[in-house]
Amino acid sequence: MSVITPTTVLKRRSDVRYRLIEGEAVVLRQSAAEVLVLNEVGASVLELADGERSVGDWIDALAAEYEGDSTALARDVLAFAAELAEAGLLEPG
Amino acid sequence: MSFGDGFLRFPDLFPGRRGGEPWGDRTVAVDVAGGPYLFTGLSAAQAAAVRDRFAGLCRDASEAAATAMVATQVFRAPAADFLDRDVRGWEYTLDMEHAPSAVSLAGLRLMARLDWGPHLAGGLWTCEEAGEEWSASVFENFLRVLAAYRLLAEEGAVIHSAGVTGGESAFLLLGPSGAGKTTVSRLCLARGAAVLSDDLNAVRLGDGGARLQKLPFTGDLGDRGSLGDAPASVPLRALLRLAKGPEERLRPLSPAAALAGLVAAAPFVNRDPWRREALLGVLERLARAVPAYELTFSLAGDPWAILQSISP
Amino acid sequence: MSLSRVIATAWRENLLFSVLVELTYRCNLDCFFCYNDLGLKGEPLTREEYFRLFAELREMEVLNLTLTGGEPLAHPDFLVLGARARELGFVVRVKSNGHALRGELARRVRDEVDPFLIEVSLHGATAVTHDRQTRVPGSFDRLLANLRELRELGLRVKLNSTLTAWNEGEIEGMFAVADSLGLPLQVDPEVTPRDDGGREPLQVTASREGVLRLFRLQFERGRAAQGGQVEVQVARGGDDGTLPTPVDKHCGAGSSGLAIDPYGNVYPCVQWRRPVGNLHRQGLREIWRGSAGLAEVRDLTVEVKERLAVQGAGGHLLNFCPGSAAIQAGTPFELYPAAVQRRELLEQVMAEEESGRKKKTSLPIVR
């Protein structure tokens, strides 16, 4: 997959199932029968990946929720998006 | 064609046991030959419709439950389970599958099973379409088969036949469709006889000989009006195989010929390899117990007079 | 950030995670040992009630939804409900006898429900044995053909079996059948009574030797698969068996899992048939929060854990199920015979494994 930028649009793959438990996400990738647990930011990213909003939109949405260094947040989100795409949870929207 | 193919959308999902969603919690007991037959799981509307259709033959369920030998659980099945078929103009026969201790039935808007475990019990799945909650024909089609199997255990059988009586004894008229059962019944009625049924009758063997029992299933004659006032159960005087001809005639038949006629006229069970032997046993005993004749009748004649001439 | 820790949180906080739904007691087979209570009366849940239930479960962040019965495919709304479950993002498991899973129906299940897993029952290695259990002639041959078709369709399938007196002699053959199909086979050594307490199924309980043979085989296969140390999953962990046990409770019954029958009755677990509410009268969340019966069950699972602690290190080998105990012995605390035997036999097999290993390492070195 090509480099993820703020304009990239990603969505959850169709075989991904997840739920939020105490802020974390328990995720099952059905096709691989793999279970992952994501922290709060990862869970948020997964939720936001609806195939309509871009990664940049996610950063904006999360920046509104979380205080602190917005540059660091942007970097985290981009890194997470790449990781989740790598893990097979996200695909181009 | 495998079982249920013509009637069911998902023959693979045909019930393997008596389980599912009942229509309601009502019970009705129908007291006909071999009964009382208990039907459980009915809705209030269905219970009322059964009582209506079998007026006079329905017993109080709680009282009947003690003596009922056969209970049938009735379940709902979605309309999607059944295929739409236009059966106008052709004779509709139920699809049946026979196993050592079960019989499966599929038909129009009908799935049913009879299970011996070890005693006979029934399961009936009827269609869940608005307005189809109660279908007299579905219920009756099932009850005919149920009665046929139930009577087997009681030295009896259901026979495609006309039963006519003068009150003290009765005559069983055999013949395939078109042989003249309804015609002869009508001719006898006109002469003062009563008709138990022009389509289906039950024969019972007992210590006192053979008896004919009325079943609440009639052919064309029943639709048109009164059958006279036949008692529910009458001693059987003779078996008659019907034949058409220019001259009326009565000719004795051997027990073997009588047996052949009876087997051909005993629906449902005569196709069942697992219970045919039992049926043959009953019919053979019947053929030996009751004299048999071939009755050639004519439309201008008086078959009732001929029947009455047969000495008891 | 481990799954176990998240799940442990779920149990501690009583967060519902897995729900098993018996859609109907109609079935196209007639298994001798079926545990369904066919005499149970009640008003079946309507399609709308199921939709409402699923919506509530989604709000409660329930992940696992298992559809079973009877035969779930025989429920008139199976595809519609399955599709809704998929839409709502549940991990859907379908427990089916597989008898009707072929052709168009199988394709529709894949396309419209897209289940995570289909769990199918295997009762023997031969038609004689399998059909003896199902009481439908031809069911074994049909099952094998259907399993091949399901694999070609890309559906994920797992085989479940219960060890019985009828199939204990062909357990190796059953694993061979599973292997030839490329499917995992999970074998439960315990036959349970019917949900109404009826003990007829226990007539086919496997012999002690049969259970021993099974355990030895499972260890052997585990060793072969992992090329050495084997860790055999012996602890019960919830309806789907994939979850570890909670910290302060013996199991997740009523605290992370629930079961629902076709008439809306809610139970702590498919095995523990103590109704704690009914969906015709209350929503699920209301039952989850307010049911006195459920609160009691949660306390009971704590007490069970405490009582089992006195059993020592081998306590988990009992694979004790309070629900089973309640049905078999009338109380959720009593150690029923199958549990006692299971521990004995597992300890025996584990000792055999241990001495086997020791034997290997103490072989004299030949110079």
Scanning every residue of chain A, which has its alpha carbon at the shortest distance from the alpha carbon of C3? Answer: A37
Contacts with B128 from chain C: Cβ below 8 Å = 76
Beta strands C64-69 and C18-24 are parallel
- pLDDT at residue number B58: 84
pLDDT digits (tens, 9 = 90+) for C168-178: 999 999 999 99
Count of A-C CB contacts under 8 Å? 46
Testing the interface with B: which of C24, C28, C105 to mutate, by most B Cβ within 10 A? C28
Can you tell me the distance from the alpha carbon of B42 to that of C45, in angstroms, rounded to the nearest whole number?
17
Closest CA to A50 of A11, A9, A1, A90: A11
When mean pLDDT is compared over B222-226, B268-272, B296-300, the highest value belongs to B268-272
Chains with ≥3 CB–CB distances under 8 Å to C: A, B
CB within 8 Å: A37 and C6: yes
Lowest mean pLDDT segment, chosen from A66-70, B17-21, B202-206, C117-121: A66-70
Q: Which pLDDT band, with edges at 50, 70 and 90, does B276 fall under?
A: very high
> Could you tell me how far CA C27 lies from the centroid of its own chain?
18
Does A80 touch chain C if contact means CB atoms closer than 8 Å? no
* C79 touches C106 (CB < 8 A): no
CB B211 within 8 A of CB B178: no
Is C28 at the interface with chain B, CB within 8 A? yes
Q: What was the ipTM of the complex prediction?
A: 0.89
Of residues A32, A45, A37, the one with CA closest to residue A79:
A45
Task: Give the predicted TM-score (pTM) of the model.
Answer: 0.91
pLDDT in tens, B145-163: 999 999 999 999 999 999 9
Q: Is C245's pLDDT higher than 70?
A: no
Query: Which residue from A minimizes the CA distance to C115?
Result: A30
pLDDT on residue C238: 40
Q: Contact B21/C100, CB-based, under 8 Å?
A: no
pLDDT exceeds 80 at position C244? no
Mean pLDDT of B110-136: 86
For chain C, what's the residue count? 367
Q: Where are the beta strands (DSSP E) in B166-232?
A: 170-174, 194-197, 200-206, 209-214
Strands B156-165 and B102-107: unpaired
Task: Report, as an integer, the average pLDDT of C228-239.
Answer: 42
* C195 close to C273: Cβ distance less than 8 angstroms: yes
Cβ pair C25:B20 closer than 8 A = yes
Question: What is chain B's mean pLDDT, rounded?
Answer: 90
Interchain CB distance below 8 Å, C91 and A15: no
Contact B16 C102 (CB under 8 A): no
Q: Name which of B12, B14, B18 is nearest C38 (Cβ-Cβ).
A: B18
Given a contact cutoff of 8 angstroms between Cβ atoms, the answer to whether C347 and C314 are in contact is yes
Q: Is A39 on the interface with C (CB under 8 A)?
A: yes
Q: Do C2 and A37 touch (CB under 8 A)?
A: yes
Residues 9-38 of A with CB under 8 A from C: 14-15, 17-22, 24, 26, 28, 30, 33, 35, 37-38
pLDDT attached to residue B143: 95
What's the mean pLDDT in B90-100?
Answer: 87
Q: Supply the pLDDT for residue C268.
A: 96
B83, B87, B88, B91: CA torsion to nearest 10: -170
Q: How far is A27 from chain C (nearest CA, A)?
A: 9
Size of the B and C interface in Cβ pairs below 8 Å: 55
A33: left (phi over 0), alpha (psi -120 to 50) or beta: left
Verify whether the Cβ–Cβ distance A30 to C90 is below 8 Å.
no
CB contact under 8 A, B14 and C28: yes
- Helix, strand, coil percentages (3-state) for chain A, rounded to 5, are 45, 30, 25
Picking from A15, A20, A37, the nearest residue to C3 by CB comes out as A37
pLDDT per position as a tens digit, B214-248? 898 888 877 555 677 777 889 999 999 999 888 89
CA distance C168 to chain A (A): 30
Chain C contact set for B81 (CB, 8 A):
76
Q: Flag if B75 and C26 touch (Cβ within 8 Å).
A: yes
Residue A89 reports pLDDT greater than 80: yes
Q: What is the DSSP string of B108-143?
A: TTEEEEEEESSSEEEEEEEE-STT-S--HHHHHHHH
C74 to chain B, any CB pair closer than 8 A? The answer is: yes
Q: Please give the structure tokens belonging to residue B161.
A: 């036949």
Best residue in B21, B40, B126 for a mutation probing chain C (most C CBs within 10 Å): B21
The answer to whether the CB atoms of C90 and A17 lie below 8 A apart is yes
Model pLDDT for residues C15-70, shown as the tens digit of each residue: 899 999 999 999 999 999 999 999 998 999 999 999 999 999 999 999 999 999 99
> Best interface-test mutation with B: which of C25, C26, C77, C99 has the largest number of B CBs within 10 A?
C26
Q: At what angle do helices C292-309 and C322-329 cross, to 10 degrees?
A: 100
Q: Do A19 and C89 touch (CB under 8 A)?
A: yes
List all residues of chain C from 99 to 158 with a beta carbon under 8 Å from chain B: 99-100, 102, 105, 134-137
CA–CA dist A11, A89 (Å, integer): 8
In chain A, the residue whose alpha carbon lies closest to the alpha carbon of C243 is A35
The pLDDT of C247-272, averaged and rounded, is 93
